[in-house]
Amino acid sequence: MVNKRDIGERLREFALNNYETLAEFAKALDMKPQTLNSYLSGKIIPGGELLNRLSALGVDIQWLLNGSEKLSGADNADSLTFRVLGKIPAGYKEFHDMSDWPEIRSLNYDPDTHFFLVVDEEFGYSMMPLVNPGDMVLVSTTARVKNGDMVAAIFDETKGALKIYSENPKIPGAVVLSSYNQAIQPIFLRKDEVKLYKVVLVEKRS
């Protein structure tokens, strides 16, 4: 299973292979060396803003987060396809069997605009059982976020959370980040002080 230390080691590997010193790498990221060391040691996992900076420097984000190499252009052209076998309600109603239906769905996410995040195993309980600690979420850097979407939210530079997004109609420009667990208080922020990345896929790890 992916952990913070693995990510830190891969980040260090990239730095040593591409920069003369770690201080030079920190400067390229517009980051203090002490902050960089927190990522290299595995104390902190890179958030969306840092992942964008790393991608611009040539880091393969899929490799960084889960150790897998990015597919080449030729390999990536052929997406995986899956049959659609039914339509299931979110409430209590009939399930429509579609075993003979010819529809298929393709999974073809561009690695340049999508990346995985691992749900923290220590602070990843507010979205259970929808998303569990250790699960992985695929997020988009370009998809439009709408009310009710699950998002990876980055705010206050180093803070982040996996939440359900909604806008506060009574306060223009305000957003509400809610947990699946209703016992946890929602987070209220101004829209201009948070970066939002729409979750497009959840990979269950347990």
Q: Tell me the domains of the chain and their CATH numbers.
A: 4-66 (1.10.260.40), 75-107 (no CATH), 114-203 (2.10.109.10)
The number of beta carbons lying within 10 Å of the beta carbon of residue 115 is 26
Q: What is the CA radius of gyration of the chain?
A: 19
Q: Exposed (0-12), middle (13-18) or buried (19+): which is 168, by Cβ within 10 Å?
A: middle
Query: From CA 13, how far away is CA 39, in angstroms rounded?
Result: 12
DSSP label of 193: G
pLDDT digits (tens, 9 = 90+) for 77-133: 445 565 556 655 645 556 555 555 555 556 677 877 888 888 887 777 888 888 888
pLDDT band for position 76 (50/70/90)?
very low
Query: From CA 174, how far away is CA 30, in angstroms rounded?
Result: 29
- Using alpha carbons only, give the angle 92, 96, 102 rounded to the nearest 5 degrees: 150
Which residue in 116, 123, 125 sits closest to 179, CA to CA? 125
Query: From CA 106, how far away is CA 79, in angstroms rounded?
Result: 6
Residue 191, pLDDT > 90, answer: no
For the record, the structure tokens of 32 come out as 């203090």
In sequence order, the β-bridge partners of residue 182 are none
Query: From CA 118, how far away is CA 114, in angstroms rounded?
Result: 14
More confident call, 113 vs 206: 113
Output the CA–CA distances (angstroms, integers) from residue 107 to 58, 63, 79, 140, 175, in the order listed: 24, 19, 6, 13, 30
pLDDT digits (tens, 9 = 90+) for 138-187: 888 888 999 999 998 888 767 788 899 998 778 888 899 999 888 888 98
Mapped onto helix, strand or coil, the DSSP state of residue 139 is: strand
For the record, the structure tokens of 61 come out as 């984000």
